[in-house]
Amino acid sequence: MTLDDLRVFVAVCRAGNLSAVARELTCTQSAVSQHVKRLERETGVSLLERRPRGVVPTAAGRILYEAAAEGLAGLDVALRRIGDLVNGESGAVRIATGGTTVRHFMADAIVAFRRQYPRVSLEFRTETSGRRCFDALLSGELDLAWITIGDPVRGIEQRPVLDLPWVLAVRAGDPLADRPRIDPEQLDGVPLVRLPPHSVSGAHLDAAFAGLGVRAGSDTGVADWDTALLLAELGLGHAVVPALPGLPASQDAPLRFVPVPALPPFSVGWAVRRWDALPPLARAFAGMVAESRTEPTQTSATS
């Protein structure tokens, strides 16, 4: 029994004539009969009764007709809705982000996605940790999460998009602002504006400092990199931050970004439940973000 068998059977019951259905489907009457015969073999009963002017469903045929007609109508609606999702005519993409994600990583992709899929909504949800992102993905509340790539998580697939080097953000005029680079030992004992150690990127930086024997101080903690940059701009401390896309690169900018090449870069990217089961629209948005961020923003002491 196939969907085509049921569709043809429903059409025959409605038309009451095999020849009329054959003409509508541009096939032979024999082909129409074969669909009905397969259903009769499957059910073990006669489904149509021949009359002088055509055919009518038997008692068993009426039962199958009513169920099949209702089921096919619902299925057709579902297929149309799926087609709308695939073609970008409706739907939503649900994304978990951190505090700096949209500004630095997704702005260009959001504009491009909106132009291509104007009827699809983008729903952003800010999460405070990777663990919360993973829980939301596993519960089915989200399609995508932008994360700092870390250790494997059961039931989650992580896909790196961008490697971010580290820079020291200092105010213009600071003694360190005009250096071509910062060596880790120059940060020994320097008070830094820092992310919480339980964050993946914060833990990455702490481990890198420990591996290099650097004891960087910290008297100010923040929840995201943009806040760290603001405090550095206000002169409340130095900030070791990733070379985020979109950092100001003008001589007139209040901050200078000095590379710290000895610190190993870290990766950011997407987390999903399963890439092969990702909805087409979510896959399209993830691809647009990746395409817009193939290279990190270059920063230097003189930029």
Per-residue pLDDT of 173-186, as tens digits, reads 888 888 999 998 88
Surface-to-core class of residue 170, CB atoms within 10 Å of its CB (0-12 exposed, 13-18 middle, 19+ buried): buried
C-alpha 167/C-alpha 279 separation (Å) is 37
Q: What percent of the chain has pLDDT over 90?
A: 39
Work out the pLDDT band at 297, boundaries 50, 70, 90: very low
Averaged over 29-46, what is the pLDDT? 93
The DSSP string of 4-63 is HHHHHHHHHHHHS-HHHHHHHHTS-HHHHHHHHHHHHHHHTS--EEEETTEEEE-HHHHH
Q: Are 217 and 189 in contact (CB under 8 A)?
A: yes
Residue 50 has pLDDT above 80, yes or no: yes
C-alpha 19/C-alpha 120 separation (Å) is 44
pLDDT at 275: 92
pLDDT at 84: 62
DSSP state of 93: E
pLDDT at 55: 92
Work out the pLDDT band at 81, boundaries 50, 70, 90: low
User: pTM to 2 decimals?
Assistant: 0.67
Q: Are strands 166-171 and 255-259 parallel, antiparallel or unpaired?
A: antiparallel
Distance of CA 71 to the CA centre of its chain: 32
Q: What percent of the chain has pLDDT over 70?
A: 90
Work out the pLDDT band at 106, boundaries 50, 70, 90: very high
Work out the pLDDT band at 72, boundaries 50, 70, 90: confident
Angular region, 120: left φ>0, alpha ψ -120 to 50, beta rest: beta
Strand, coil or helix: 163: strand
pLDDT at 144: 95
DSSP bridge pairs for 241: 167
Residue 33 has pLDDT above 60, yes or no: yes
Strand, coil or helix: 69: helix
Residue pLDDT, tens place only, 212-265:
888 876 667 787 888 888 888 888 888 888 988 877 666 677 888 999 999 999
Residue pLDDT, tens place only, 187-207:
887 778 877 666 778 888 888
Angle, helices 59-87 vs 29-43, to 10°: value is 110
